[in-house]
Amino acid sequence: MQYMDMVDVLRKFIKAECTAKRDLHLQAIYDMLPFFAAAGHTLCAKSAYIYLQIMLDLPTKHPEV
């Protein structure tokens, strides 16, 4: 079941990249965070979390982008 969850997250991420859907991309990154932490990739988890925070603040700080 865990493997299927990982595959679903990866499929969501690939779909977001191919269709250029920002919200789906951010949701896929958010869904990856527990897998990064469980695998011991703490730097990836930390970087992804910071990336999410920056991207979620983007519409308010830089609405022209």
Residue 44, pLDDT score: 96
Q: State the virtual CA torsion across 49, 25, 21, 63 in degrees, nearest 10.
A: 0
CB 48 within 8 A of CB 33: yes
Query: Residue 27 is part of which domain span?
Result: 2-58
The answer to whether residue 65 is domain-embedded is: no
In total, how many domains does the chain have? 1
The answer to whether residue 19 is domain-embedded is: yes
CB 51 within 8 A of CB 29: yes
DSSP designation for 20: T
The answer to whether residue 35 is domain-embedded is: yes
* Segment 14-60, tens digit of pLDDT: 999 999 999 999 999 999 999 999 999 999 999 999 999 999 999 89
User: CA-CA distance, 62 to 64, in Å (whole number)?
Assistant: 6
H or E segment to which residue 62 belongs: none
pLDDT at 13 over 90: yes
